[in-house]
Amino acid sequence: MSTRQIHVFISHAWAHSHHYNTLSDWIFKEPWSVGQASLDFRDYSVPRNDPIHNAPNVQALQSAIYERIARSHVIVIPSGMYATHSKWIQREITGAKYYGKPILAVTPWGQEKESGVVVDNADQGVGWNKQPLINAIWSLYYARNR
């Protein structure tokens, strides 16, 4: 059985970090495999407790975020309506597009409306379910890293 190391960046708004926490738990806290491949997911996100949050200015913070995006294989973005109004989520989408990284939109549980900004830029979308999320990350990764 081969092991595939997959770098995942989860975008989120600090006011909605519960979405990040759930997605992070699903992706990084369980062993996953697809067929004969063991999946080793690595977190390239910017969690609230990361020192990157203490960047001296907006440009330094954006550069640090873009560096993480550049080293990621898949960008996961919850498509809650708050994303439409988040300048940082828009910047992360811009960074993902610049570096040619696939974007996976995840519709939060019970969400009736989705952020057009996220959905319009996503390469794929899934609902708020663990297994479809993992399958979609693998699919986006595998399509670019065969």
Nearest to 2 by CA among 42, 46, 44, 33: 33
Q: Is the pLDDT of residue 9 over 90?
A: yes
Q: Are 73 and 142 contacting, i.e. CB atoms less than 8 angstroms apart?
A: no
Cα three-residue angle 94-98-101, rounded to 5 degrees = 90
List the domain range (segments joined by +) for residue 11. 2-144
Q: Where are the alpha helices (DSSP H) in the chain?
A: 17-28, 58-70, 87-98, 116-121, 130-144
More confident residue, 8 or 114: 8
**pTM summary value:** 0.91
pLDDT (tens digit per residue) in 76-124: 998 876 666 677 888 999 999 999 999 999 998 876 777 788 889 999 9
Q: Give how many domains the chain has, as a whole number.
A: 1
Residue 87: alpha-carbon gap to chain centroid: 16
How much is the pLDDT for 134?
97
Amino acid at 126: V
Find the CATH number of the domain harbouring 88.
Answer: 3.40.50.300
Mean pLDDT lowest for which of 28-32, 47-51, 96-100? 47-51
Q: Are 67 and 31 contacting, i.e. CB atoms less than 8 angstroms apart?
A: no
Rounded to an integer, the average pLDDT of 24-34 is 95
How much is the pLDDT for 110?
73
How much is the pLDDT for 123?
97
- E strand or H helix at 45: none
How far is residue 10's CA from residue 103's CA, in Å, rounded to a whole number? 10
